Amino acid sequence: MAVTETGVFGEPPEGAPPPLTAVQRLRAILGGSAGNLVEWYDWSTYIFFTVYFASHFFPEGDQTAQLFKAAAVSAVGFLARPLGAWLMGVYADRAGRRAALTLSVSMMCLGSLVIALTPTYAQVGALAPAILLAARVLQGLSVGGEYGASATYLSEVAGRKRRGFWSSFQYVTLIAGSLTAQGMVVLLQQVMPEADLKAWGWRIPFFIGAVLAVVVFWIRTGIHESQGFENAKKEGENRGRTMLLFVKHPRETLMVMGLTAGGSLAYYVDTSYMQKFLINTSGFSKAVASQTMLLALFCFMLMQPAFGWLSDRIGRKPLLLFAFGGGMIATWPILSAIAGTSNIWVAFGLIMIALTFQSGYSSISGLFKAELFPAHIRALGVALPYALANSIFGGSAEPVALGFKKAGHESWFYLYVTVILAVGLLTVIFMPDTRKTSTITED
């Protein structure tokens, strides 16, 4: 086994087809990532519009109590993500990356449509939050499967020399989905009275998400399968066998879980929960908080290719050390300062510092996971341990934060985030630099 010019171990299989041209690679990456954008738009729409629809489904209590209950529903959706990751990971390793990507976006379409049509508590009583919960669980199954399939597909078609750069577009589109959802908040705030937005306008973005998912379904039926999957299929290995993941790759599985715990928690604190933090803790208006996060997410999105490119030059591990080490040190002072400021530009600057550290993880999040596992179990290896840790730590970010706030100890949440990031840092210290030990051999 030889070392390639980019420091990656391994050789392409004998008789492998020539590398993709620049145009072919770009088409594959755009096709694979388009659905990622829509999936995360639909997923984030629930989070960003909670401040408008929470009272329709949970009318009792004050704003914090209503947001807490709506966030708890979202947390259950997160708990469905490991099941979706397992089912779709097995499916992607057996039937192909394209088949899994197409199925996941279909499920998201249905989940968004159900939320858009769900009656309120005043109309059907307790059935309303039950329907909302069922739809969010369906979305959780979908997005749980989407992450592993898209991360694997993009990593396999990215090419050796610029694998970090091209793979970063998974988070470019992921953030773009969240950005589009946040942009929809700002747009509707500008064109609709707040009373109308709260009464029925919040349903509009869910209808839009369902329509966009249909468009992506059509796009994904036309993308090519990755060569990594085709090679694994030809070799006839046991593809997508769940026990193989834990029996033959326990170290890699635990690494993914350790890094995802801190990375996902910090991501949801710095992006999704931050909107509510600015409103509910710092005291900014809904419009100001939404506009601030729109700008922050846009800047965050632009960082991803730059950090991905940097990983192709210096390796994956240095970026992860920067992300977890810097995040661990900065979390408490940043959140404390945002909580105490009345200047939105100060808050914005502090948020961008946190997102800069986060970019060291997010830009290569899918890639380093894919580089840890062989092709015949890669989609499952990326998806399942990620989803398990993400559902526990990322999915619980808002309920835990709001729970501490309700108890009168909001600063304890800052300590909680710091400790979980420290676990991630410890994991990075003991992991290899996957740019040098990558299991992806196709160019």
Residues 155-185: pLDDT tens digits? 877 777 788 898 888 889 888 988 899 889 8
For 273-300, the pLDDT digits (tens) are: 898 899 989 999 988 998 899 899 899 9
Q: Which residue has the higher pLDDT, 23 or 207?
A: 207
Q: Which residue has the higher pLDDT, 26 or 1?
A: 26
Distances in Å between the Cα of 143 and the Cα atoms of 78, 99, 140, 196, 388 are 9, 15, 5, 30, 13
Q: Are 383 and 86 in contact (CB under 8 A)?
A: yes
Judged against a pLDDT cut of 80, whether residue 10 lies above it is answered with no
Tell me the mean pLDDT in the region 238-262: 82
Q: What sign does the dihedral 312-315-320-325 (CA atoms) show?
A: negative
Q: What percent of the chain has pLDDT over 70?
A: 89
Rg, Å, the chain Cα set: 21
For 392-431, the pLDDT digits (tens) are: 898 788 889 988 988 888 999 999 999 999 999 999 999 9
Tell me the mean pLDDT in the region 61-87: 85
Q: What percent of the chain has pLDDT over 90?
A: 40
Q: Are 142 and 111 in contact (CB under 8 A)?
A: yes
Dump the DSSP string for 364-401: THHHHHHTTS-GGGHHHHHHHHHHHHIIIIITTHHHHH
Question: In the 3-class helix/strand/coil scheme, how is 318-354 assigned residue by residue?
Answer: HHHHHHHHHHHHHHHHHHHHHHHCCCHHHHHHHHHHH
Which amino acid does the sequence have at 148?
Answer: G
Judged against a pLDDT cut of 90, whether residue 351 lies above it is answered with yes
Tell me the mean pLDDT in the region 39-53: 89
Tell me the pLDDT band of 7, cut-offs 50, 70 and 90: very low
Tell me the pLDDT band of 116, cut-offs 50, 70 and 90: very high
Domain made up of 22-437: CATH architecture: Up-down Bundle (1.20)
Task: Tell me how many helices (H) and strands (E) the chain has.
Answer: 21, 0
The Cα–Cα gap between 312 and 371 comes to: 13
Q: Are 401 and 335 in contact (CB under 8 A)?
A: no
DSSP 3-state of 3: strand
Judged against a pLDDT cut of 60, whether residue 5 lies above it is answered with no
Judged against a pLDDT cut of 90, whether residue 191 lies above it is answered with yes
* pLDDT on residue 3: 37
Distances in Å between the Cα of 159 and the Cα atoms of 128, 146, 154, 300, 434 are 48, 21, 9, 24, 15
Tell me the mean pLDDT in the region 185-203: 91
Mean pLDDT, the chain, as a whole number?
85
In degrees and rounded to multiples of 5, residue 271 shows phi and psi of -115, -70
DSSP 3-state of 84: helix
Tell me the mean pLDDT in the region 329-340: 96
Tell me the pLDDT band of 207, cut-offs 50, 70 and 90: very high
Cα distance between the two ends of the chain: 16
Judged against a pLDDT cut of 50, whether residue 263 lies above it is answered with yes
* pLDDT on residue 197: 92
Which amino acid does the sequence have at 348?
Answer: F
Q: Which residue has the higher pLDDT, 10 or 163?
A: 163
Q: Which residue has the higher pLDDT, 347 or 152?
A: 347
* pLDDT on residue 4: 39
Judged against a pLDDT cut of 60, whether residue 140 lies above it is answered with yes
Judged against a pLDDT cut of 70, whether residue 234 lies above it is answered with no
* pLDDT on residue 236: 56
